[in-house]
Amino acid sequence: MFQRPFHTKQRTLLPLMFTALLGVSLSGCMSGPERRYANLQEDTGTCNSFGSAYGSGAYNECMLTQQNRRDQRARESLERTRLTSQIARDAQVMSDRARRQRCDRNPDRRECGPRGR
């Protein structure tokens, strides 16, 4: 079947999309100190936008609140990861049990392997 060649717009859009995808994927590659500095800049901007002067009690409280918010997000992310892993392990155990039960009922099934196991 005859395929149409890429149109001019599609030819220029493909490398642009690839470049954008590469940029987005590499933007998450920061070292620890770079990430901490970026977080500090973000928190400073947030607290300044609330009208807190650097060094004041309100500014310090705001910075602590921002750090606690970030820590809470990290804990929630770790908890979601832990739960997802646990669900995957439980699913694997259940799948193995179901396969063993099928093999116990009918050992000639292909998934049970050769007889005599």
- What pTM was estimated for this model as a whole? 0.52
pLDDT for 28-61, tens place per residue? 677 888 888 888 899 899 988 988 889 899 999 9
Distances 19 to 8, 14, 24, 80, 114 between C-alpha atoms, Å: 17, 9, 9, 31, 51
pLDDT for 56-87, tens place per residue? 999 999 999 999 999 999 999 999 999 999 99
What pLDDT, on the 0 to 100 scale, is given for residue 3? 52
